[in-house]
Amino acid sequence: MGMVMRPGDGRWMRLLPFILVGPSLALILLLFLYPLLRLVAESFLDPTPGIENYVAVVTDPTLWQIIETTLAIGTECTVVTLVLAYPVSYLLSRLPRSRANLLMMFVLLPFWTSLLVRMYAWMVLLGRHGIINEAIIGLGLSDKPFPLLYNRFAVVVGMSHFLLPFMVLSLYSTMIGIDRSLIEAASCMGSTFRQTFRRIYLPLSLPGVYAGCLLVFILAMGFYITPALLGSPQETTISVYIQQQIQQLNWGEGTAMAVVLVAIVIGLFAIYDRLLGFDRLFRDVGAR
């Protein structure tokens, strides 16, 4: 969105961007930044001023195990959604507009249902006597039910189900901008499908891949309900642990853990930036 400013514009027009952004910025500062700072302050002040909460939190072996679990689940969900979303986004970007819109509606349909309802639906599907197991046993494929629920499998399935549209949309927004003539030119020059994909299409789609992975991973780190409902205690994520501290009115340690979580995520951001560069997310891909 380019706003063309002419030299004759008055002072009022030059201030315009700030006037327009002002209310939103004030809202963010008030409703987001201020509570965040209060939270950080709480971690240093409750019950007595000092860093004792951080000492307690950092030396808690349970916390580090939970962080490890959270990172592992986040990574698994990112990989699963990427693998599932890539072909779907590719198809969506190649279809004519009307068909693509219809399929896009199906991709976005989960957004219109409650997350909790979806979680309970997964419990019905995956339980020991749930629909899937009953079908497997009924068809004679096995005489014992598979443990599909209350474990890592169920958590990754449930979370990926929720996160898939984010990955699809991320990839789609990049893929739709990939210039098809480049692909055609490559095959004109004798390139096989595999070569074209590996050397032309894949690199062009990478900004969408990076953006999608970042988005999905960050969202996965904050998940609370799905690991709590569908997983075993081995799938305890850090949000669950923080919630426990808050529930016990142990706010000093709970907020300290939250700050540690934010620090870890920022650290991952920094690594991401160092390896891949943020500007890649916004690179304009091909001209249409």
Partner 1 sequence: MVRRITRERISTVIAAAVIVAGGMAALVAATPAMAQDQVVYVNSSGGVLDDINRSVNWDPFTQATGIKVVASAPVDSAKLKAMVTSGNVEWDLTEIDDGDFLRAAKEGLLAKLDLSKLPTGDLPKDAVTDYGVWDGPYSTILTWNTDVFPLSGKHPTTLLDLWNQKDFPGPRCLWKDALDNLELGALHGGVARGNMYPIDQDLAYKELDKLKKDVGVWWTTGAQSVQAIVNKDCVMGTAWNGRPYQLIVKGEAPLGVAWENAILRTSWWAIPKGAKHYDNAIKLIAWMQDAGRQAEMAKASGYAGGNRGVAALLPEDVRQFIATSPAHLETTLVVDESWWEANGPAAEKRFTGWVIAK
Between 144 and 194, whose beta carbon lies closer to partner 1? 144
First to last CA, the chain: 17
Two tokens at 61?
A: 């072996």
Torsion of CA 7, 11, 17, 21, to 10 degrees: 180
| Count of residues in contact with partner 1, rule CB under 8 A | 33
Tell me if 62 contacts partner 1 by CB under 8 A: yes
**Region of 29-37, 201-209, 236-244, 272-280 interacting with partner 1 (CB under 8 A):** 236-244
Two tokens at 149?
A: 């629920």
Peptide bond into 47 cis (omega under 30): yes
Binds partner 1 (CB under 8 A): choice among 233, 267, 277, 286: 233
Between 128 and 199, whose beta carbon lies closer to partner 1? 128
3-state secondary structure 139-159: CCCCCCCCCCCCCHHHHHHHH
| CB atoms closer than 10 angstroms to residue 13 | 13
> Token match 């499908």: residue?
193
Tell me if 66 contacts partner 1 by CB under 8 A: yes
**CB of residue 246 vs partner 1: minimum separation in angstroms?**
5
**Region of 160-168, 185-193, 244-252, 262-270 interacting with partner 1 (CB under 8 A):** 244-252
Between 173 and 243, whose beta carbon lies closer to partner 1? 243
Residues 261, 221: contact at Cβ < 8 Å?
Answer: yes
Rounded CA-CA distance 33/44 in Å is 17
The binding track of 18-57 with respect to partner 1, each residue x by CB under 8 A or -, is -x---x----------------------------------
Rounded CA-CA distance 100/212 in Å is 20
Rounded CA-CA distance 16/12 in Å is 6
Binds partner 1 (CB under 8 A): choice among 48, 59, 98, 247: 247
**CB of residue 19 vs partner 1: minimum separation in angstroms?**
8
Tell me if 129 contacts partner 1 by CB under 8 A: yes
Which positions touch partner 1 (CB under 8 A)? 2-4, 16, 19, 23, 60-62, 65-66, 69, 127-130, 149-150, 228-229, 232-234, 236, 241, 244-251
